[in-house]
Amino acid sequence: MSQSLCKIYLHIVFHVKTSSPNINDADLKRVHSYIRRLVDSTGCFAIQVGGVGDHVHIVCSMSRKESVAHLVEEVKRKSSRWIKTTSLRYKDFAWQGGYGAFSVSQSVIDKTIEYVRNQRMHHQSLSFREEYLRFLELYRIEYNEQYLFSD
């Protein structure tokens, strides 16, 4: 009997649409918990979910049967629908169309988890834009800035 064994860690990042309300601090824990359940429901395993009011970070291990695009699509679509039901404040809530997905080596998974846990402190001195551009440069991803932060 043959087995397909794999362990692929991802760090996924996506942003609230610019015309959408940001997520209130008081609601972040619930939103992150819901996103964690959505990730797990795809067969992937959410290790850490975090972020601040204008964006989300997900550290997960991928299912060998799931694609990155489908995982992100499911999480964004279902979480957006759910967030809209939690308060009138969020009736027009939406995520931006794009996302970043970055591979994470086993040797730095703990550091990545800690990075996501410390988002509040991290963003006292760094904007989402600056953070995202750093990821793109670190991973040597070619991009056109004109399209990066558009809805």
Task: State the pLDDT at residue 2.
Answer: 62
Q: What is the pLDDT of residue 1?
A: 57
For helices 68-86 and 25-41, what crossing angle results, to 10°? 140
Instruction: Quote the domain boundaries for residue 27.
Output: 9-148
45 within a domain of the structure (yes/no): yes
Q: Is residue 2 part of a domain?
A: no
- Can you give the pLDDT at residue 103? 97
The answer to the question of residue 99 being in a domain is: yes
In a 13 Å sphere around the CA of 150, the CA atoms on its Cβ side amount to: 5
CB 39 within 8 A of CB 75: yes
Per-residue pLDDT tens for 110-119? 999 999 999 9
Whole-structure pTM value: 0.93
Q: What tokens does 92 get?
A: 């027009």
Beta bridge partners of 11: 59, 102
Q: What is the DSSP string of 76-123?
A: HHHHHHHHHHH-GGGTT--B-S--EEEEE-GGGHHHHHHHHHTHHHHT
Assigned domain for 81 exists? yes
The residues near 28 (Cβ < 8 Å, ≥ 6 apart) are 51, 52, 53
Share of the chain above pLDDT 70, in %: 98
Distances (CA, A) of 150 to 41, 56, 95, 97, 128: 29, 17, 11, 8, 14
- 11-59: per-residue pLDDT in tens? 999 999 999 999 999 999 999 999 999 999 999 999 999 999 999 999 9
Say which DSSP state 16 is in: B
**Does some domain include residue 59?**
yes
Tell me whether residue 131 is in a domain.
yes
CATH number at residue 140: 3.30.70.1290
Per-residue model confidence (pLDDT) at position 122: 85
The model's pLDDT over 55-70, given as tens digits with 9 standing for 90+, comes to 999 999 999 999 999 9
Does some domain include residue 24? yes
3 within some domain: no
> Is the pLDDT at 151 greater than 90, yes or no?
no
d(CA 23, CA 90): 8
- The mean pLDDT of the chain is 94
Number of domains, the chain: 1
